[in-house]
Amino acid sequence: MVCLGNICRSPLAEGILKSRLDPNLFYVDSAGTAAYHVGEKPDNRSILTAKRHGIDISNQRARKFIKSDFINFDVIYAMDKENFHDIISLAKDDFQQRKVKLLLNESKLFSNKSVPDPYYGGDDGFEDVYQMLDQACEMIEKKYL
């Protein structure tokens, strides 16, 4: 799960998808395309939103997306179109490029949309983001059932 800062959207997405998949079968992680917040905990608003839904993301720490992620992961979900293009530009070939998907394309309701960046908005934005992410993660879960 990849966003810009790896403190708002992708930590939530990581927590949600982890809660929906068997940890013995799936390895889920998140990263940011930018390094501004490397080493930091998720934004408190993401931590609280996850907590309200019974998910603890407080142990996550931000990291930057790196080229070896193309080798270590089968699917790379971008939160928005800018992240999508930034990740694609780091791929070394078609095989790696094809691993990159826009997360909301997994969801019929939000197909081809970006997950809005809630960083500069109010608390409501985080709940809206949670609902979008959860919808997409529900579809991913169903794919692998």
- Which among 8, 9, 43, 134 is annotated as catalytic? 9
Whole-number minimum distance, CB 93 to ligand 4NP, in Å? 27
Is 3 among the residues known to form the active site? yes
| Residues in contact with ligand 4NP by the rule CB under 6 A | 3-9, 32, 36, 117, 119
Structure tokens at 90: 């780091």
Is 117 among the residues known to form the active site? yes
Q: Are 70 and 99 in contact (CB under 8 A)?
A: yes
Whole-number minimum distance, CB 8 to ligand 4NP, in Å? 3
Is 137 among the residues known to form the active site? no
Nearest to 62 by CA among 41, 46, 83: 41
Q: Are 97 and 85 in contact (CB under 8 A)?
A: no
Residues annotated catalytic, as ranges: 3, 9, 117
